[in-house]
A and B are shown apart, each in its own frame.
Chain A
Amino acid sequence: MSQIAHQKRVGAEAVEEKGWLRAHKWLILRRISQFGILGLFLLGPLAGIWFVKGNLNYSYTLGVLPLTDPFVALQSLAAGHVPETLGLIGVAIVLAFYLLVGGRVYCSWVCPVNVVTDLAGWLRDRLGIKGGSSLSRHTRYWILGMTLVGSALTGVVLWELVNPISMLHRGLIFGLGTAWTVVIAIFLFDLFVMTRGWCGRLCPVGAFYGLVGRWSPVRISAPKRAACNDCMDCFEVCPEPQVIRPALKGEAKGIGPVILAPNCTNCGRCIDVCSKDVFTYTLRFNNPASTAPLVRVQTESK
């Protein structure tokens, strides 16, 4: 107890104010989503109930719903191959979905590697590991470009040779083999080498989905940013902390409260850890330049 008081943990204030459950609401929902999706895929091989066949690269649900990973399809296209009709319909459905809800919702609500890197980030925080190497957050776009050019040059769906997401997800469903070593490697990399290294700097899949969600309407916003007490907890938990500042601190510069940066993963963890309930899910259009006269807005609406 004294230790916690000594070095206040991220989100402790929110837990005090709102209670544990409300301070972990979106995190719990996200984990339910991630494990739920994985569970649906596992029902087939483990229990013989075939709701879904396949894996995150392409799946076929109940014999009606095809879902194709557009990034894999794009690499295949670069290699000179067009999918069959079902594969193409799958691409369209997935693209439409992430165009609406935000591209990197894939990262925070679906991707199984996110659980691994979140765990590494959490442990890093608990163990007080600071520093380490750093790479530009633009590195992922270079890697994204490389995978597409490389696919075109080699004629192979290049990233799929090493993609840890598919190795882990496919491995859990079809047999893991030595894929666990890659997962451990990413965990240790994020823990000791680089803060948020994999998902935040290197992964081209996340980079691709970020671009897909460039104009997606579902966003996180800080409409009550005037109430911010600068506890910095949101910056601490955010996997992409650079996206918060313009929205949270942009009042003076006339920047609206909606987080428009495409790399926001819409994970909602900032909503959880904020004791002042500054953040909320909203639509991008709901973005007034100024949110300061909070009192007046309230009186007007009465």
Chain B
Amino acid sequence: MNSKSPKSGAARRQFIFDSAKMACGVGMLGLGLGLYAKQSKALPALALRPPGALPEDDFLGACIRCGLCVRDCPYNTLELAKPETPVATGTPFFNARNIPCEMCEDIPCVKACPTKALDHELVDINKAKMGIAVLIDHETCLNFLGLRCDVCYRVCPVIDQAITLDMVPNTRTGRHAMFLPTVHSEHCTGCGKCEKSCVLEEAAIRVLPPKLAKGELGKHYRVGWDEQKKAGHSLIDESKMQDLPDRLPEGAVLPGHYDPASGHTESARGMPGSEAGAIPRFPPGLGGKP
């Protein structure tokens, strides 16, 4: 090194300087791109990926933005994100309220994918998890208002499994039932037909990404009745269970309350299975005694 002439020393200095310039300049560009990449992973809640899509983190590394899935979708459900769309540029997505997934049995979009971005292991469309439908607004849903809309339930391709109508008493009228559309996440594919067909101006039921739609129990959590079923008997001796006194006003009863000590259950007014007489014969204000 010492034997280098001043000229080669200057050249070396220049080389190091030029390299540093490049590394810094391109490094800054890379930093900007990297941060943009991180932003692009934040898929908007209402943008759904095609069936079989890998989790968003993996999807953006596997998808090569060719649009073959878009082309092979017979219902024009999918589109490729344009630069101004808040979805990573060139990647396929759909908006259920525009065009939902029709859940083709042969899943042509997955077959067309030249990468593993759409998992070719998915051969049963009912196993797809594009998202999970959530009845997000209980205030405007017609069935929650006590009407029989039922449209989301009826259009569901996995009817009676992914969406059921659960009957509960209508406490507003006191004499009717409400049939509440209830989503069961293990069967819901997230196709979005319910969201598409919701008759409201803004859909009360929407397909959301699972991480937004689902809670998660603590890993240590055990549900008593499941454990009871597994063990074949209750894990505790219920007769020795101490029930703390219910702090109620004098003379009040708690409908449907079960007292493990006595084994006695209060009757529940208006609930299924309660004595018929407890249900009022007329709605409030129409005569008769409630």
Interface mask (B77-119 → A, CB under 8 Å = 1, otherwise 0): 0011011110011100000000000000000000011111100
Residue contact B90 to A170, C-beta cutoff 8 Å: yes
Residue contact B67 to A177, C-beta cutoff 8 Å: no
Residue contact A160 to B61, C-beta cutoff 8 Å: no
Residue contact B26 to A155, C-beta cutoff 8 Å: no
Q: How far is the CA of A90 from the CA of B112 in the complex (A)?
A: 14
Residues of B93-147 whose CB lies within 8 A of A = 112-117, 120
Question: A76-B61, A154-B37, A156-B61 are known contacts. Are A177 and B66 too (CB-CB below 8 A)?
Answer: no
Across the interface, name the chain A residue whose C-beta is closest to B82. A177
Residue contact A156 to B40, C-beta cutoff 8 Å: yes
Residue contact A161 to B66, C-beta cutoff 8 Å: no
Residue contact B30 to A149, C-beta cutoff 8 Å: yes
List the B side residues contacting A166 at CB < 8 Å: 65, 90
Interface mask (A34-67 → B, CB under 8 Å = 1, otherwise 0): 0000000000100000100111011110000010
Question: A79-B61, A146-B27 are known contacts. Are A158 and B37 too (CB-CB below 8 A)?
Answer: yes
Q: How far is the CA of A147 from the CA of B30 in the complex (A)?
A: 7
In the assembled complex, A245 has its CB within 8 A of some CB on chain B = no
The distance from the CB of A156 to the nearest CB of chain B, in whole angstroms, is 4
Question: A142-B22, A162-B89 are known contacts. Are A174 and B70 too (CB-CB below 8 A)?
Answer: yes
* CB < 8 Å neighbour of B33 from A155, A158, A171: A158
The distance from the CB of A167 to the nearest CB of chain B, in whole angstroms, is 6
Chain B interfacial residues counted at CB < 8 A: 45
Question: A84-B114, A177-B83, A179-B82 are known contacts. Are A53 and B26 too (CB-CB below 8 A)?
Answer: no
Residue contact B80 to A54, C-beta cutoff 8 Å: no
Residue contact B64 to A58, C-beta cutoff 8 Å: yes
List the B side residues contacting A80 at CB < 8 Å: 58, 61
In the assembled complex, A29 has its CB within 8 A of some CB on chain B = no
List the A side residues contacting B187 at CB < 8 Å: none
In the assembled complex, B23 has its CB within 8 A of some CB on chain A = yes
Q: How far is the CA of A178 from the CA of B84 in the complex (A)?
A: 6
Residue contact B29 to A59, C-beta cutoff 8 Å: no
Interface mask (A141-152 → B, CB under 8 Å = 1, otherwise 0): 011011101110
List the B side residues contacting A231 at CB < 8 Å: none
In the assembled complex, A182 has its CB within 8 A of some CB on chain B = yes
Interface mask (A114-149 → B, CB under 8 Å = 1, otherwise 0): 000000000000000000000010110011011101
The distance from the CB of B76 to the nearest CB of chain A, in whole angstroms, is 11
Residue contact A161 to B64, C-beta cutoff 8 Å: no
Question: A150-B30, A158-B37, A177-B83 are known contacts. Are A76 and B23 too (CB-CB below 8 A)?
Answer: no
Across the interface, name the chain B residue whose C-beta is closest to A45. B71
List the A side residues contacting B72 at CB < 8 Å: 53
In the assembled complex, A157 has its CB within 8 A of some CB on chain B = yes
* CB < 8 Å neighbour of B65 from A50, A87, A142, A160: A160
Residue contact B83 to A81, C-beta cutoff 8 Å: no
In the assembled complex, A283 has its CB within 8 A of some CB on chain B = no
Residue contact B27 to A66, C-beta cutoff 8 Å: no
The distance from the CB of A151 to the nearest CB of chain B, in whole angstroms, is 7
Residue contact A84 to B115, C-beta cutoff 8 Å: yes
Residue contact B67 to A54, C-beta cutoff 8 Å: yes
The distance from the CB of A88 to the nearest CB of chain B, in whole angstroms, is 9
* CB < 8 Å neighbour of B68 from A54, A139, A179: A54
Q: How far is the CA of A162 from the CA of B72 in the complex (A)?
A: 25
Q: Which of A90, A142, A150, A176 has the most CB of B within 10 A?
A: A142
Residue contact A156 to B37, C-beta cutoff 8 Å: yes
* CB < 8 Å neighbour of B115 from A55, A87, A155, A177: A87
The distance from the CB of A26 to the nearest CB of chain B, in whole angstroms, is 30
List the A side residues contacting B34 at CB < 8 Å: 150, 153-154, 158
Residue contact B38 to A154, C-beta cutoff 8 Å: yes
List the A side residues contacting B282 at CB < 8 Å: none
Residues of B1-60 whose CB lies within 8 A of A = 18, 22-23, 25-27, 29-30, 33-34, 36-38, 40-41, 57-58, 60
Residue contact A151 to B90, C-beta cutoff 8 Å: no
Q: How far is the CA of A176 from the CA of B89 in the complex (A)?
A: 11
Q: How far is the CA of A297 from the CA of B195 in the complex (A)?
A: 80
Across the interface, name the chain A residue whose C-beta is closest to B30. A146
* CB < 8 Å neighbour of B29 from A55, A58, A143, A153: A143
Closest 7 CB pairs of A and B: A177-B82, A79-B61, A58-B66, A87-B114, A81-B62, A156-B37, A146-B30
Q: List 11 A-B contacts (CB under 8 A).
A: A57-B65, A58-B68, A60-B68, A72-B64, A76-B62, A155-B61, A157-B63, A158-B37, A161-B40, A174-B80, A175-B80
A-side interface residues toward B, CB under 8 Å?
A: 44, 50, 53-55, 57-60, 66, 68-69, 72-73, 76, 79-84, 86-87, 90, 136, 138-139, 142-143, 145-147, 149-151, 153-162, 166-167, 170-171, 173-179, 181-182
Known pairs A79-B62, A160-B90 / 9 extra A-B pairs, C-beta < 8 Å: A54-B66, A57-B66, A73-B64, A80-B61, A139-B26, A146-B26, A146-B27, A174-B79, A179-B83
